[in-house]
């Protein structure tokens, strides 16, 4: 193919350009450039909780779901199920908008670090649980009502049971134990964390007789900051990597069995069954050879039999391949 234009073709191109009828001829030698890829970044979303923090916190909540389901099923005498739905990391102000409008808010005090968390429970779950505790019909969703003193007392008992299981799972995670400091329809969020505090929100679905409700746990970073290294598992990793001496000291106190053996022999079962009082078994060793000390099945040293006060004892004379001075 000839890529050189003759004068007539050049003149025809100029005439076409004057009239604006230049044909589009795609280039066969160049590849069109891809459009620039733009990845949106939300700078308002915090990233204080690392992936390891989130994974371990979710695992602790999964443990809470199993324990709480078993406990409440026994107390309410009806099947109760808990399941983690989703989680997100937002600011404390944004987290408050995620709480259901009709819910009880429990301010949790974490011991021994004296930090506060927030847990909300939808009123539908609370009212159905109260009906179960009072022996009522739980086949339908109770109508909303103003809480009486009896309702508040039974609600406190319900949440105490849930918080007890939450404490058990978080005690293994970060050594935290929770108690309910305040229980109300609305919580004073400003007393727990600042509006810009990074917060990890975990939403748990609770199913009671087929009716679904939610339990939401709000974990501000200030609440786990004193134990964040332990929650992430980093402190344990550092102890393993840097604390080799402590591991050696721990292994040195492990008990093992040390036995003194004069001699040994192997006999078939029929000869062992024929043994009677007065029978003589040849051990194949000599008394002058002393005894051998074994740790499990490994020979450690040679020794001579003797006594130490009123007790039998042996005196080590040499180790295997090494002589004692």
Number of domains in the chain: 2
Q: Is residue 56 packed enough to be buried (19+ CB in 10 Å), middle (13-18) or exposed (0-12)?
A: middle
Q: Cis omega before residue 112 (within 30°)?
A: yes
Residues 67 and 199 in one domain: yes
Asked whether residue 39 is assigned to any structural domain, the reply reads no
- 141 and 193 part of one domain: yes
Read off the CATH number of the domain in which 221 is found: 3.40.1550.10
- Output the pLDDT for position 44: 62
Whether residues 261 and 233 fall in one domain: no
Residue 23 belongs to a domain: no
**18 within a domain of the structure (yes/no):** no
Given a cut of 60, whether residue 135 has pLDDT beyond it is yes
- On the question of pLDDT at 324 being above 50, the answer is no
- Residues 38-63 have pLDDT tens digits of 556 555 677 889 989 999 999 999 99
> Which domain covers residue 123, as residue numbers?
51-239
CA distances to 16, 213, 216, 257, 259 from 120, rounded to whole Å, are 75, 11, 5, 56, 62
Number of H helices, E strands in the chain: 10, 11
219 with 264, same domain?
no
- The tokens for 259 are 């036995």
Per mean pLDDT, which range of 22-31, 177-186, 298-307 is the poorest? Answer: 22-31
Residues 91 and 223 in one domain: yes
Say if residue 57 is in the same domain as residue 204: yes
CA–CA separation, 294 vs 39, rounded Å?
68
> Which of residues 117 and 242 earns the better pLDDT score?
117
């Amino acid at each position: 193919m000839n890529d050189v234009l003759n004068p007539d073709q050049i003149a025809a191109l100029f005439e076409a350009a004057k009239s604006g009828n230049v044909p589009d001829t795609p280039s066969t030698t160049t590849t069109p450039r891809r459009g620039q890829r733009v990845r949106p970044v939300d700078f308002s979303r915090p990233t204080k909780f690392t992936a390891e923090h989130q994974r371990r916190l979710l695992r602790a909540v999964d443990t809470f779901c199993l324990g709480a389901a078993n406990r409440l099923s026994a107390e309410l005498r009806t099947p109760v199920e808990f399941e983690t739905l989703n989680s997100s990391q937002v600011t404390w102000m944004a987290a408050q908008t995620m709480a259901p409008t009709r819910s009880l808010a429990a301010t949790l005090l974490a011991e021994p670090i004296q930090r506060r968390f927030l847990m909300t429970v939808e009123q539908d779950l609370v009212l159905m649980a109260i009906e179960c505790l009072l022996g009522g019909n739980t086949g339908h969703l109770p109508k909303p009502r103003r809480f009486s003193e009896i309702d508040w007392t039974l609600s406190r008992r319900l949440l105490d049971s849930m918080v007890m299981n939450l404490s058990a799972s978080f005690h293994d995670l970060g050594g935290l134990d929770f108690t309910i400091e305040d229980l109300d329809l609305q919580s004073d969020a400003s007393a727990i964390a600042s509006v810009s505090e990074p917060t990890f929100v975990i939403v748990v679905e609770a199913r009671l007789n087929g009716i679904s409700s939610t339990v939401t746990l709000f974990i501000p970073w200030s609440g786990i900051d004193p134990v964040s290294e332990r929650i992430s598992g980093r402190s344990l990793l550092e102890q393993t990597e840097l604390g080799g001496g402590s591991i050696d000291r721990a292994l040195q106190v492990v008990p093992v069995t040390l036995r003194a053996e004069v001699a040994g022999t192997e006999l078939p079962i029929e000869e062992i069954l024929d043994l009677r009082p007065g029978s003589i078994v040849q051990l194949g060793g000599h008394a002058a050879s002393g005894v051998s000390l074994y740790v499990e099945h490994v020979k450690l040293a040679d020794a001579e039999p003797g006594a130490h006060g009123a007790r039998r004892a042996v005196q080590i004379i040499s180790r295997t391949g090494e002589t004692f001075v």
